[in-house]
Structure 1
Amino acid sequence: MKKVLLSAYACIPNRGSEQGTGWVYATTLSQNNLAVHCLTLKDGKEAIDPILADGLYPNLHVHYVYLPAWVDGLVDKTLVGMYFHYLYWQWQAYQLARQLDGVHQFDLVHHVTYGSIQLGSFLYKLRKPFIFGPVSGGQRAPKALKRYFGRYWSREWMRDWVGTALQYLNPGFYKSVQMADRVIVTNRDTMALVERLRPNGPVERIWDAGLSASFLPAAPIVRAPGSTLKLLWVGRLLPRKALELTIQALGSVDQTLPITLTIVGGQGEMADQVPQYIEQYGVSDRVNWVGHVSYEQVRTHYAQSDVFFFTSLRDSCPHQLLEAMAFSLPVITLDLHGQAELVTDSTGLRIPVTNEEKVVADLARAVEWMYSHPNARLSMGRAGYDFAKTQVWDQKISAFINDIYPATFSTPVQTARQPSAQAT
């Protein structure tokens, strides 16, 4: 049985985002005749240990990387504190990995979370066949729409600045990119960044969002067009999610049309601004803000809506879009970053990012088009469902198990690769 060392800083069962992604990789790989040794934060220990004790994943071995208390105290302080915490963890993870490799002699090393290319991994130093990704980080929020970040634009600017600096200062970034046997990215923005540093490749692209098989309805949802068009927005109320843009666009929709918006989400820095947005754009009679709801309630909202509205200004590969398409919802989104790749002309409408006035107007016209074309909505929903079926986690990870891992096992270890001058 081949032995895989998995680097998953974020890895907690029954969570969303990267924490759930790390757990899915660890468990799914271990169920496919691979002995998986997963390095992760201690944060998941309380949830993970009882599951392992039950013997559900006999081929999965989880190793918690412990950090000093003063380092743990920095993770929620500032953006720089979070980055420092992650880099410190990466270094400690490498030290533990060396010890474990001395015992287990791993056949392959795979980094999956965080999926941030600039923060990288130090596991290339093990000089084992190494897969880096899927990773993202090439996305930049458009300055033309920076107003929607409010007072948080300076933090977004700092994120971009630090990310650029790390490309030159963090060896975990540039050496991972240059020395990995496989670099896998999740969107075109990141592909362009990697190709500049790795001109001879290979660089591959795999979306890092996926669905559990249990989330996908057994068949497409066929909605009989009703008298009211029901829009849905789902997500954390973060500055980059630009909920204000969605509400502003709704305010520009023809007031005579019966159109409503349900907002699902109650956590995030912009939560206290939502009532102000609703009042400012005159849509109090059109918006239902339900706040934070349970997993099953989110599914209900997907099932009961007609169109999914998503106006994030920076996203690598949004999970919400796959969830919406799984419930046969057509999508209105921006022609930007990951959403521009997940959504096609057959599954939704993508609005070019130009200036605020035009973007708002174009989003409003897209809503009106959806109202006026019920048959096209249904067709987009069916196409979305068919696409979502191809993005189930078991199928996505099978690409690693059946194709990428076997090819990497047979690839000579990259100890002889000559790094560029930047990597010396």
Structure 2
Amino acid sequence: MHHVEAQHAAERRLKVLVIAPSLDGNDLSEPEWAYRWVEALSRKADVTVLASSREGAVPLEKQLPLARVITWPEIRWLYQKFERFNAMAKPGLPFFVRQCRRWIKAALADGERFDVGHQILPQGMRHASAFADFDIPYVIGPLGGGLKTPTGFEAEVNASRGLANRLRDLDDFRLRHDPALRRTYQKAALVFGVAPYVQDRLAEVGLQRFHALPERGYGNFAPEITRQSAVGQLTLFHAGRVIRTKALRDTIRALAHLRDLPGVRLVTAGDGEDLPFCRAEAKSLGVADRIKFLGRIPRGAVEQHYAAADVFCFPSFREPMGGVFFEAMAHSLPIITAANGGPDFLIDDSCGIKVPVTNPDQFSRGIADAVRKLAMNPDLRQKLGAGARVRLQSFGSWDDKADLMLTFYTQIIAQAHPRPLPELERATS
């Protein structure tokens, strides 16, 4: 693109090409937040989306009426019979990337031009992009994942070592030696990460530019309520898939250090492989009568428990970001979490207490100390709860994120196609 075209791009709606498999506003997690982002962007730019379609889902062209949508069917048997494996390893993604590559090549051959590309999904740092094969300036992310298990927790985590851990080991090798993956990040004009740790993780690859940006925007805030639990009375809420790294087990152990505060209780929503161990731990420690295990419950019921809680205690110690924090902060809940990964970036002293991640014994004691501090100080709970709402607003709405993207896109286009110096300036320089 000539510099005159770059100037024209700044004067009109930008033509943005988005790659985002599994985009779906009616899904959860990555597909849902990516949809919100693209939907907001499509109201401010001319967006073309390359995505997968899933049988039974609302067609993406109906969900995104303001965008041009190009989809290819997802490999049905993968998500029907191996849904968890498909979600983590994404074995069908190389085929999707080839489809994207062919479509982009054909579009450019037909004379189409895009100002900028953005691969918003997948979020994991293990997937090459079709954009790397073309001259379109592009953005990757927000990327997440790839966190290491803290050394003191390796024994307990590895006791239930699953596919995620094996993929994480393979990621290290590929980031060092896979030329297609390394070129994807090296050639990107900008890489977004959900938190600063992503930049550290990709440091050896060599990025042109990095920016830390939470993947979510805030939506509707819950009605403001005044929580009036007395001193020593506290309801903790933990919500999420119950695996060892989400630290429900550590929260249960923390209750055992708070036997002098019988008014502190825990409600937990979620299911997963670590739930039987958590139930057994609660029974063996003698705190089962202070814990309500809800299992997997509907979305509406989760919202009710946020509203009924005094504190959101989610000390997940290998968390890329954590959408549950956005939900809890929308309910003005003070946060107890781990000083590691995404939560270490998302939560600050204005809205919560972060516990250093050392080893299981010290970690559970640190959680207990944080719970005790909040249980004995209702004014602090109120202050941090109000701070959570302000902190969430600082991350911006979906419209704010779309505006921010347009700012970055414009910078990238200008950098890719700088205006030449005037004749006089060149003659005297």
TM-score range, shorter chain: 0.7 to 0.9
Instruction: Measure how far apart 1:379 and its partner are.
Output: 0.5
* Corresponding residue of 1:247: 252
* Corresponding residue of 1:90: 97
Whether 2:351 is the aligned partner of 1:337: answer no
**Match 1:35 to one of 46, 51, 59:** 46
| Aligned CA-pair RMSD | 2.6
Distance 1:66 1:14 in 2: 17
Instruction: Measure how far apart 1:382 and its partner are.
Output: 0.6
Contact 1:118 1:137 in 2 (8 A): no
Alignment of 1:20-419 (within 5 A): 20-32=32-44, 34-43=45-54, 46-49=56-59, 52-53=61-62, 57-66=64-73, 76=83, 78=85, 82-103=89-110, 104-149=112-157, 151-153=159-161, 155-198=163-206, 201-212=208-219, 214=220, 216-217=221-222, 220-226=224-230, 228-266=233-271, 268-391=272-395, 392-401=397-406, 403-412=407-416
Instruction: Measure how far apart 1:360 and its partner are.
Output: 1.3
Instruction: Measure how far apart 1:240 and its partner are.
Output: 2.6
Contact 1:308 1:330 in 2 (8 A): yes
Contact 1:336 1:352 in 2 (8 A): yes
Instruction: Measure how far apart 1:129 and its partner are.
Output: 1.4
**Match 1:11 to one of 23, 28, 46:** 23
Distance 2:103 2:139 in 1: 18
Q: Is the radius of gyration larger for structure 1 or structure 2?
A: 2
User: Which letter maps to 1:240?
Assistant: T
Counterparts in 2 of 1:47 and 1:178: CA distance versus 1, 3 Å? same
Structure 2 regions of 5+ residues with no counterpart?
Answer: 1-12, 419-429
Counterparts in 2 of 1:58 and 1:42: CA distance versus 1, 3 Å? closer
Instruction: Measure how far apart 1:309 and its partner are.
Output: 0.6
Instruction: Measure how far apart 1:67 and its partner are.
Output: 6.0
Instruction: Measure how far apart 1:324 and its partner are.
Output: 0.9
Contact 2:88 2:164 in 1 (8 A): no
Contact 1:130 1:182 in 2 (8 A): yes
User: Which letter maps to 1:359?
Assistant: F
Counterparts in 2 of 1:139 and 1:246: CA distance versus 1, 3 Å? same
Instruction: Measure how far apart 1:57 and its partner are.
Output: 4.0
Secondary structure of the 1:411 match is helix
Give the TM-score normalised by structure 2. Answer: 0.86
Instruction: Measure how far apart 1:207 and its partner are.
Output: 1.3
Distance 1:189 1:90 in 2: 27
Distance 2:314 2:84 in 1: 29
Give the TM-score normalised by structure 1. Answer: 0.87
Distance 1:324 1:40 in 2: 30
Contact 2:334 2:385 in 1 (8 A): yes
Instruction: Measure how far apart 1:246 and its partner are.
Output: 1.6
Structure 1 regions of 5+ residues with no counterpart?
Answer: 415-424
